[in-house]
Amino acid sequence: MAEFAVSPRNQVKRVPARASYDQATIYQIIDQALVCHVGFVQDGLPSVIPANHARLDDVLLLHGAQASRLMQHVGAGHEVCVAITLVDGLVLARSVAHHSLNFRSVVLFGRGAIVDEEQEKLRALKVLTEHILPGRWDEVREPSQSELKATAVVSIPIDSASAKVRCGPPADDEEDYQLPIWAGVLPLQQGALEPVDEPGLSAGIPVPDSVLNYNR
């Protein structure tokens, strides 16, 4: 079973029993999430910016406008820290102190690079599109040359990573178990609602299978 090496950089120190360095566990969380948060330092100032992402093998892909400072910073080869979190439930204890969340999270580290070769860029954009909605790439028009030129794509090899997972019921203090207070977990999940047609959609165009069959 492949695991990331534990180092001072990626080691989970708070409640280490919840830590995982298993590559399969980490990649499953990355693949399920739609949004990541990219942390970086520029001109001595820290920033955290949300972004769409996708994974291609052992590489995290991001895209944005050429003028984006995040794209410019990552594309220049600087190191970044990326955080991803999935919330699975509200953990409701008998006391305020023991309320929590059931969650799956990943923190990963890597050094970015620009993707500028046209076919590699198209491949990356297809991976990013398919991550949002599998099957969508084949249903729509591919990027034009001007759109490709205006779009930056960066890759971040995942050099180091760790996951942290909390699941299960609340853990109250022993003396609180006799209190007449409901305790338990309220599960949460992300789900799709009914598709909404774009206002300018021509009559008679059906909702495609990729949208109808969406499931995350």
What pLDDT does residue 47 have? 96
Flag residues of the chain having pLDDT under 50.
none
Domains of the chain: 16-170 (2.30.110.10)
| DSSP codes joined into one string, 23-87 | HHHHHHHHHH-SEEEEEEEETTEEEEEEEE-EEETTEEEEEEETT-HHHHHHHTT-EEEEEEEEE
What pLDDT does residue 215 have? 85
Q: What is the pTM of this model?
A: 0.93
What pLDDT does residue 216 have? 79
